[in-house]
Structure formats: structure tokens, C-alpha cells
A and B are shown apart, each in its own frame.
Chain A
Amino acid sequence: MSTFLIGLSIAMLLFLLAAGLTLIFGMLRIINFAHGAMYMFGAYLAYQISAASGNFWLALLAAPLGLALLGALAERWLLRPIYAMPHEFQLLITFGLILVLEEAVHVFWGLSGRSIAPPAALTGSVEWFGTAFARYRLFVIALGLAMVVLLLVGIERSRIGLIVRACSVNPAMAAALGVKVNTVRTAVFAAGAALAGLAGAIAGPMLPIQLQMGTTIILDCFIVVILGGLGNIRGAVLGALLIGMTRAYGQQWLPEWIDMLTYGVLIATLLLRPQGLFSKKERLA
């Protein structure tokens, strides 16, 4: 039971990060290589806000908003001018954004690692079936599941989701119908960045807040997105669950082989179903 819950908490964190990445790709056709750096920046921002205010909840709210602003500015001034250019330019721009964000973190916070203390209500553990399970992980699971519902409902059932999907499928037609496509693109990138910031803020109490934290998690994030299918939110949920459980049960039974198991799943998927395990022909976002 504890392994299952740990796997679920890993999956929810991965989903929060991967959802932003797949959202951006689904709408903008951009693979945002700076996504891991945004996650890192979100963690540092959350650390700073919680350290200054003593309020974890404020940090949890403000860090994603800060990243949303950053994402909006990045889309407007860095990406919009190069949509018509070859993909290599997008790769270079987002890679450049990584370097800028990492250097900004280095300048403002230095090289020392940081830590966010969870709020008192989420510290400690609960005993279930003779095993101690961290309260904070239960919170991560609950928040992750809430975001799954919010994103799926938002994208599949709401008018905003309909507009986003229309802009991704046929931006010219959407523009002809009066939709401000550029504004939608900015909003989607901002939302994706906000999700990265939220993931960073959530990860703060669980993982080391340090310069390399984006690099170490982004690989798993890309695996989730590839497994689920680029631009597929439902796929991202299932991909995150698959990777989360692989890592948790892999650690339980075969800890030395855990990376091989994870990348083995990726290789098998690319060979057998390169469009993603859960991808449908039409894109949801």
C-alpha cells in the first residue's frame, strides 16, 4: 500500500510538470526546453516567498502566478517573433531561456541549496497498515488529482478549452471567427509555465531546491509526454502513472535496475507505438 501511494505521489508531481509541457506543445507546437528551468525557478520563487512571509500557502499561490507572468512575457517577446521560422530557432531560444533562468537563480540565491518547510498541518506522517506515510505526500496526491480534474474539465468541457482546441487545430479559421489567436497562445504558454511553477512549489518541501533540480526531473517529464502522446493531457495522466509506479515498484523490488526499467518502457513505446501509448488521432489540447 505504501509503495502504491508513493508511486501515486511521484506520478502526480510528474503530471503537474508534464501537463504544462504537453499543453504548450499541443497548442503552440513548441517543445519548451526551458520547462525544467521554469520548474526550478518556481521552486526558488516559492522558497523566497515562504521564507519572507512564513506562509507556505501564499508561496503555493504566488509562485505559479509569477511563472505565468514570466511565461506570458517569454511567449510575447521571445517566441511570437519566431513562429514562422524553422524549429531550430525555437530550440535555441528556449535553450537560451534555460541559461538565463539558471544564471538568475545563481545571482539571486547563489549555489547553496534551499529548503521549504511544509506547513505544520502537513508535517509528520500517518500510520496506515503499519507503515508511516508522509502527510505532505497525501497532499501532493490530492492536489495532483484536483489538477487532473480541473485540466480535463477545463480543456474538454469549457468554452475556453474549446477555443484553445480550435486555435491548435486551425488557427486561421479560429482567427477568422474572431478569436484572438495570439492572446490565446500567450495564455496557453503562461498556463504551461504556471503549471511548471506549481510543480516547483509543490516539490520544494520534498526535493532539494538547487540549481540542477530542473535538469534531473525534466527527463522523466519528457518520457511521460512521449508515452502519453505529445499534446495529450489524458495521455500525460496515464504516462505519469506508468512512470510513477515503475519508479516506486522498481525501487521496491529492483532498485539497481530502476533507470533501465523506466527507459525500457520508453524504448518499447517508441518502437511499438511512437505516437504515444494513449494518443488518439484528434488532439485534445
Chain B
Amino acid sequence: MQQLVRGAALALTLVGGMLTPTVPAWAQDAFRIAGVLPLSGAFGIIGENMRRGVTIAIEERNGRVLGKPIEVSWDDTETSTQVAVQKTTRALSREVHTVFGEVSSGSTLAMMKLTEQRKIPQLITLSADDRITGSDKSRYAFRTSNTVAMENRMIGEFAQRQGAKKLYAIVADYQVGRDMWAALKADFESRGIQVVGVDLAAIGTKDYAVLLDKALRSGADSLMLLVVGGDVVTSLKQGADVGLAQKMRVMGTMLMDETLGLAVGPAGSVGVNSTLRYHHTQDTPRNKRFVEAYKAKYKELPSQYAGEAYDGMSWWLDTVESTGVWDKEKWVDAFRASVRKDSVEGEKRMRACDNQAEQPGLFGVAERAGGDGPIVMKVTERFGAASLFKPCS
């Protein structure tokens, strides 16, 4: 008899549970964003800048979306993919509505596997690996920033416009670096630029003097520096000792900006040409408002990382707001079809085929403000989106 009663109670509970309308636990008390970024380690400064950009994006809408407060939790990945995966797993267990991050493409790709499984939107505003919106793309992961292919096209176009004839390359020895170089080399040669030499340098190389010496003695008129993180500072600082930027046309992707100029110093920075993800001088109303708000809060001009983070997050939140509903599938569908006419970089258009934002590209050269002031980037070339992106097939 007792067993019968217990069985009936269990059956009633199960049926009752199935019939009760399910309201997701995360739905409507707050809009939760998990910022999973390196806030320490080699990329800590980049993560910190991105956090600032997101903070401005949230503050300008008074910290609310869909009528509810926005709650952001910041998880430090310590510039480690393993930690990024752990932190993302924990964030997803907190039932967040959006994941933001990361910096390194390896970490981002690893996080995408998790957010795709859990069907949580992920916003990417820095990692450039083509696989993110290519072979490994996900319905839930969106990139509003540059891709490797886009940066490569800008570099090739720039080198050709500048009349480069012979080029030497120093390339960071990791998979993205090698892939990028392979594509660039083919592009340079198709433009009639002769590649006279290439050296692969381990990430974290402490001394670039020998490699720079080889480049200078190669007879090349241009140097492609495809290095990352602290190696940018090391190579350019040591290049200053031998007048590198005065003897060769130095160029690279994200090779120089105001933040790096501070670390490298004027002697190593002036004359360096670089792709720019974002620049504070862009003449758009939104960018002017953003720069004002950023300067007021942080007492300095926004970096590329801050600008792109602000742009991506404000676009995403505006899109969520426009749906008017607490339904992440609808948010995803809306974002895939969205156009950001007034982004801080000009018009950006999200492509539904790969969740990649088509956008213009910028190229700049480092110079000293006012002749002897701090390093600033002067925008020298602007590339339209049509020349930088192949149509969706």
C-alpha cells in the first residue's frame, strides 16, 4: 500500500512538472553578461581596455536593456586558454544571457564550443582568426571586428600603394602567424612585390637584434613585422637602435597605436605603419560621444581595443532592445540581419552567412603630436568594405 502511495505521488509530481509552464530561471530579473577576458598576464592590458569599452557601452544606456538592469561579471582568464574554458563553463552555469570575449583566437575558439552547446550568444570584438567566422563558425558567435583575411588585404593593398618592391618578413612562429604569412606572401607576390627573406621568431623572443640586422642587410625596402604581444615592443624598441623605421618601410597588422607607442617610445614608433581597428579621430557622431565619455571617465583617449569593444557591445545591446522580448533566439536572428549605420568606424553590416560584420578598414602611421609630443596615429588610408570582404557564397 505504501509503495502504491509513493508511486502515485511520484507520478503526480512528474506530470505536474511537465504541465507547469516553464519560465527560464534567468529570464527577467536582470540582463547578465559574462565578460571572460585576460585581465592579467601578457594580454592583461588589452582585456582591461576592452572592459572599459564595454563599461561605456552599458553606462550610455543607463545600465539597462529590455527594462531590466544589466549585470556584468568579469572573469580573468589570466591569458590562458585553459582558464578561459574554465571561467566560461562557470559563467554559463550562472545562466548568463551573453558571453563577451576573448582576446586570443585560441581561447575564443575554445569558448565558442561551449557557448554553442549552451546556445548562449557570444560577442567577439578582437580575435581575428578566420576560423571564428569560417570553418568553426557558430550560430551564436558574432564578430564585429576585423578578420585575418581583411587585415591581409589591407596590408597587401597598402604595400602596393606605397610602391614596395622588395620585402622582408619577421613572423611570429605560431599557427595563426604562419597561416597569415602564407596568405600574405601569396598576395604580395601577386602584386609584384618580391619577398627576399622571412624569419620565424618564437613568441616571447627577447632579442630581435640579429633578425633586424638580417632584414636591414637583405636589400629589402620594406619590412613586414607579423609579431604579437610584447614582441611588438621588443622588436620596435631594438629597431630604434639601428634606425629601422628610417631605413625601411616598417608595417604590420595592429603593430602600432597610442598604447604601444607609450611602451616602445618615440624613437622606435615614429614612421611605423599599421592597420588600425579603430581610431579616436573617426568623424562620426557616435564616436565623438564615445570619446567624450571615455575621456571623462578614464582621463585618456580610447585605444583600438576599447573602441571595438564599445562598438560591438553597444550594437548588440541595441539589437536586443529592438526585439523587445526575452528570447535569445530572436536576439540572434535580429543581430544576424542587422546593420549598424552609425558605428564608431562607419557603417557595419552583419552577414547572416557567417556572423561576421562587414566594415571599412583603416591604415595609419605613427607620428609625434605637435612635433615632440606623445605618439599618435595618423590615419593615412581608408579601405571600403567591398574591397576587404568576399561576398558570401
- B94, chain A: closest CB distance, angstroms: 26
Contact of B45 with A3 in the complex, beta carbons under 8 Å? no
Of the candidates A125, A208, A251, which one forms a contact with B243 in the assembled complex, judged by CB atoms under 8 Å apart? A125
- A134 neighbours in B (Cβ, 8 Å): 209, 238, 241-242
In the complex, residue of chain A having the shortest beta-carbon distance to the beta carbon of B173: A256
Q: Which of B82-90, B108-116, B211-219, B354-362 is the interface stretch? A: B211-219
Contact of A113 with B238 in the complex, beta carbons under 8 Å? no
- A247 neighbours in B (Cβ, 8 Å): 206-207
Cross-chain pair count, CB within 8 angstroms: 111
Assuming the A-B contacts A2-B213, A132-B243, A259-B202, are A251 and B207 also in contact, with contact meaning beta carbons closer than 8 angstroms in the complex?
A: yes
Contact of A255 with B241 in the complex, beta carbons under 8 Å? no
Of the candidates B204, B210, B216, which one forms a contact with A6 in the assembled complex, judged by CB atoms under 8 Å apart? B210
Is A264 located at the chain interface by the 8 A CB criterion? Answer: no
- B259 neighbours in A (Cβ, 8 Å): 112
Distance in angstroms between the alpha carbons of A132 and B238 in the assembled complex: 12
- B213 neighbours in A (Cβ, 8 Å): 2-3, 6, 131-132
Q: How many residues of B contact A (CB 8 A)?
A: 37
Is B199 located at the chain interface by the 8 A CB criterion? Answer: yes
Is B176 located at the chain interface by the 8 A CB criterion? Answer: no
Assuming the A-B contacts A3-B210, A6-B213, A209-B263, are A115 and B241 also in contact, with contact meaning beta carbons closer than 8 angstroms in the complex?
A: no
- A113 neighbours in B (Cβ, 8 Å): 45, 230, 233, 260, 262-263
Is B133 located at the chain interface by the 8 A CB criterion? Answer: no
Contact of A112 with B45 in the complex, beta carbons under 8 Å? yes
In the complex, residue of chain B having the shortest beta-carbon distance to the beta carbon of A134: B241
Is A56 located at the chain interface by the 8 A CB criterion? Answer: no
- B40 neighbours in A (Cβ, 8 Å): 106, 211
Assuming the A-B contacts A216-B206, A251-B211, are A137 and B263 also in contact, with contact meaning beta carbons closer than 8 angstroms in the complex?
A: no
Assuming the A-B contacts A208-B237, A255-B201, A258-B202, are A123 and B214 also in contact, with contact meaning beta carbons closer than 8 angstroms in the complex?
A: no
Contact of A10 with B267 in the complex, beta carbons under 8 Å? no
Distance in angstroms between the alpha carbons of A131 and B216 in the assembled complex: 9
- A203, chain B: closest CB distance, angstroms: 9
Contact of A114 with B209 in the complex, beta carbons under 8 Å? no
| Residues in A98-112 with C-beta less than 8 Å from chain B | 106, 111-112
Distance in angstroms between the alpha carbons of A264 and B322 in the assembled complex: 60
- A210 neighbours in B (Cβ, 8 Å): 230, 233, 263
- Beyond contacts A114-B263, A207-B206, A251-B199: 10 other A-B pairs, Cβ-Cβ < 8 A, are A6-B209, A111-B44, A112-B262, A125-B243, A212-B41, A248-B207, A251-B205, A252-B214, A255-B201, A258-B202
